[in-house]
Chain A
Amino acid sequence: MNGMDCQGVRRMPWYLHPYFAAFLSGGAAIVSSLILKRADPHGAARVAAALLAVPPTAFLAWTFARWIRGLDEMQHRIVFEAVAVAFVLSIVGAVAMEGLQKAGIATGFEWEHAWEGMVFFYAAAYTWTAWRYR
């Protein structure tokens, strides 16, 4: 019915699924890191290697938005409640890490840890929000 299965989710090809896009994005980030560390390119090649993960991550954002558009109204609410909770937790976490860095305590904190934290907060918030509506 309308291309939806009994779960009310529009069927999507595997290559358009956010999980596959996340795999591509994560893989590109790893490859980028390896190239920069082992090959140590220069000039334009170095910039290209540094930005290698950007196109698959943009693709991930597109597949995620496409996935959200295929959800029903309650699933929309679950996703957006999870995003709202994750957003707030990320701000609180960032403020905490900023303070700890200024105090010289969390000196190993980098930008990459910020988005890893955001992904973790979203996954935790989504799990909790979906449980509330079980």
Chain B
Amino acid sequence: MDGVAVPVRNRLRVLRAERGWSQGGLAARLGVSRQTVNAIETGKYDPSLPLAFRIAATFALPIESIFHPDPDGDGVGR
């Protein structure tokens, strides 16, 4: 292992849109700021493990279906 951090991709924006939630609405459900939700969606910030579990619980999905490694490094879900 070379010790280099692997960027993480997420489907947060897609999942949020499917449920018709705003960023502020999702932020309120997660107990974080809208700025944090936006940063996660745009790949500028990777959530901590507890927050990732809260996100998974909010969407009632396994973590692996929301977050996965991003070999291309842009961090945004496709």
Cβ-based interface call for B24 (8 A): yes
Give A119 to B40 CA distance when docked, in angstroms.
29
Decide: A7 and B27 in contact? CB cutoff 8 A: yes
Decide: B34 and A74 in contact? CB cutoff 8 A: no
Tell me the residues in window 84-115 of chain A with beta carbons closer than 8 Å to chain B beta carbons: none
Decide: A7 and B44 in contact? CB cutoff 8 A: no
Q: Which of B28, B29, B35, B51 contacts A134 (CB 8 A)?
A: B35
Q: What is the number of residues of chain B that contact chain A, defined by CB distance less than 8 Å?
A: 19
Closest to A72 in B: B32
In the assembled complex, which residues on chain A have CB atoms less than 8 Å from the CB atom of B35?
Answer: 7-8, 74-75, 133-134
Cβ-based interface call for B48 (8 A): yes
In the assembled complex, which residues on chain A have CB atoms less than 8 Å from the CB atom of B32?
Answer: 8, 72-74
Q: Which of B25, B36, B47 contacts A8 (CB 8 A)?
A: B36
Min Cβ gap B35→A in Å is 7
Contact with A along B31-43 (1 / 0, CB 8 A): 1111110110000
Q: Which of A2, A132, A133 contacts B31 (CB 8 A)?
A: A2
Also in contact, A72 and B33, with CB within 8 A (given A1-B28, A7-B27): yes
Decide: B31 and A74 in contact? CB cutoff 8 A: no
Give A52 to B33 CA distance when docked, in angstroms.
37
Min Cβ gap A6→B in Å is 4
Most buried by B among A1, A4, A7, A71: A7
Min Cβ gap A11→B in Å is 13
In the assembled complex, which residues on chain A have CB atoms less than 8 Å from the CB atom of B31?
Answer: 1-2, 4, 8, 72
Decide: A74 and B27 in contact? CB cutoff 8 A: no
Tell me the residues in window 1-54 of chain A with beta carbons closer than 8 Å to chain B beta carbons: 1-2, 4, 6-9
In the assembled complex, which residues on chain B have CB atoms less than 8 Å from the CB atom of A2?
Answer: 31
Residues of A whose CB lies within 8 Å of any CB of B are 1-2, 4, 6-9, 71-75, 77, 132-134
